[in-house]
Amino acid sequence: MPSKRPAPPRRRPASADAAVDRASGILEIDLGAIQKNWRFLQGKVGKSVQCAAVVKADGYGLGAVPVAKALATEGCKTFFVATLEEALALRETLKTAEIVVLNGLLPRTEGDILRARLIPVLNDLGQLDVWRKLVLPMKQRPPAILHLDTGLSRLGLSRGETQVLLGEPDRLAGVALRAIISHLVVAEDPKHAKNAEQRRLFLAARRKLPPAPASLAASSGIFLGSDFHFDMVRAGAALYGINPLTDQLNQMLQVFHLKGKIVQVHDVDRGETVGYGAEHRMDRGGRIATVAVGYADGWLRSSQGRAMAGIAGRQVPVVGRISMDLITLDVTSLDSALVEVGGFADLIDAKNTPDIVGTRAGTIGYEVLTALGRRYHRVYHGG
């Protein structure tokens, strides 16, 4: 039995915006901050180097179309996506920008690529041969990007294939190369020997290939210095506020704020448990605020026992197992006037950044962003 009669929870009065009242969570995205991050990176590489934007996985979960539109108005001209479908969706909005498909020239996609004026990344010799055969008869040959693998063993011409190509340069004859690219493996660690090794391999291959702009660095690579910038850098995570250098203070701006709605405030006695599995036991009587965000919304289960949230600027622990649609916060330390049903808990913001939230979940900020669910009411500012 409860030790004292629970006070009725406070209810937040209706807000001016019905969508906010309906929403179980609100994702506020600051397009102006994304633009500032892009300008910062463009400034870092200097005018002679192009800063392209990587907007794959729906702009790392924040919305490829609004993000790309905002960056295009800033002057960004080249956008990288992973899949053909992402590229086609973006082409509907960005009529003239360069849109590059990282996952390559896959069988039976050539028609879509040509019709939508997309730039395929040629990831192996087979793709190069198919593309060359396709474009050779054309008067105005559309551009493609050649990707050389220098250490990731994921996409791009393998070392063996690169050697074959260097020995048979005619395989590139007549192909309009928009760029030759490679991708770094441990750029977030400037001291790692692999960075210089990949750069050396990239330079050695590039010297023997027809002249074309080169691109090696993504977000972290930008911070390795001008030796790594070449003609174009491909910024993704840093645009979205993820720290490109894991052991240094983050120089990027936090670009979004995730708020979860408090749907119930619950009095719990000492010894009672919270959540599935009865894994969290109250060591004193207290209050639990239930927030309508769960793992179906991208709040990762693996953060159990470590996650924190803010209410009215105060940090409180997320306790118990994370369920599909709900998490539970121990708000015993807060004045009950601060915890209103219909009010919000700050789940990801400048205090609990994606990097911090990711570390607590045993993962990285990239996964926190791309896991952001579809149920949030999204509000875009600026741009």
Ligand X SMILES: Cc1ncc(COP(=O)(O)O)c(C=O)c1O
Which residue lies nearer to ligand X by CB, 102 or 157? 102
Task: Count CB neighbours of 33 within 10 A.
Answer: 21
Among 25, 236, 275, 365, binds ligand X (CB under 6 A): 236
CB of 192 to ligand X, least distance (A): 15
Are the CB atoms for 370 and 363 separated by under 8 Å?
no
CB of 383 to ligand X, least distance (A): 20
- The question of whether 44 is a catalytic residue gets the answer no
Indicate which residue of 44, 56, 259, 261 is catalytic: 56
CB of 233 to ligand X, least distance (A): 9
- Angstrom distance (rounded) from CA 206 to CA 137: 26
Chain residues 311-370 in contact with ligand X, contact rule CB under 6 A: none
DSSP 175-234: --EEEEE---SSTT-TT-HHHHHHHHHHHHHHHTSPP--EE---HHHHTT-GGGTTTEEE
- Angstrom distance (rounded) from CA 345 to CA 316: 10
Are the CB atoms for 221 and 215 separated by under 8 Å?
no
CA–chain centroid gap for 354, Å, is 10
Task: Using DSSP bridges, classify how beta strands 377-381 and 308-311 pair: parallel, antiparallel or unpaired.
Answer: unpaired
Count of residues engaged in binding ligand X, rule: CB under 6 A? 11
Among 64, 232, 235, 308, binds ligand X (CB under 6 A): 235
Indicate which residue of 36, 44, 69, 276 is catalytic: 276
Residue given tokens 């998490």 in the structure block: 327
CB of 15 to ligand X, least distance (A): 35
Chain residues 130-189 in contact with ligand X, contact rule CB under 6 A: 183
Residue given tokens 């808990």 in the structure block: 345
Phi, psi at 251, each rounded to 5°:
-95, -5
Nearest of 123, 2, 12 to residue 345 by alpha carbon? 12
Among 234, 280, 287, 360, binds ligand X (CB under 6 A): 234
- The question of whether 276 is a catalytic residue gets the answer yes
Q: Which stretch binds ligand X (CB under 6 A): 232-240, 272-280, 290-298, 334-342?
A: 232-240
Indicate whether 237 belongs to the interface with ligand X (CB under 6 A): yes
**At 261, which amino acid appears?**
K
Chain residues 98-117 in contact with ligand X, contact rule CB under 6 A: 102
Residue span 38-67 as binding mask against ligand X, x where in contact by CB under 6 A, dash where not: ----------------x-------------
- H or E element that contains 65: helix 64-74
CB of 139 to ligand X, least distance (A): 31
- Angstrom distance (rounded) from CA 350 to CA 348: 7
Among 26, 128, 218, 252, binds ligand X (CB under 6 A): 218
Which residue lies nearer to ligand X by CB, 343 or 365? 365
Indicate whether 243 belongs to the interface with ligand X (CB under 6 A): no
Residues 6+ apart with CB under 8 A from 353: 241, 243, 250, 254, 365
CB of 260 to ligand X, least distance (A): 26
Q: Which stretch binds ligand X (CB under 6 A): 110-118, 233-241, 257-265, 341-349?
A: 233-241
DSSP state of 13: P
3-state SS assignment for residue 131: helix
Active site residues: 56, 276
Q: Can you give the binding site for ligand X, defined by CB under 6 A? A: 54, 102, 183, 218-220, 234-238
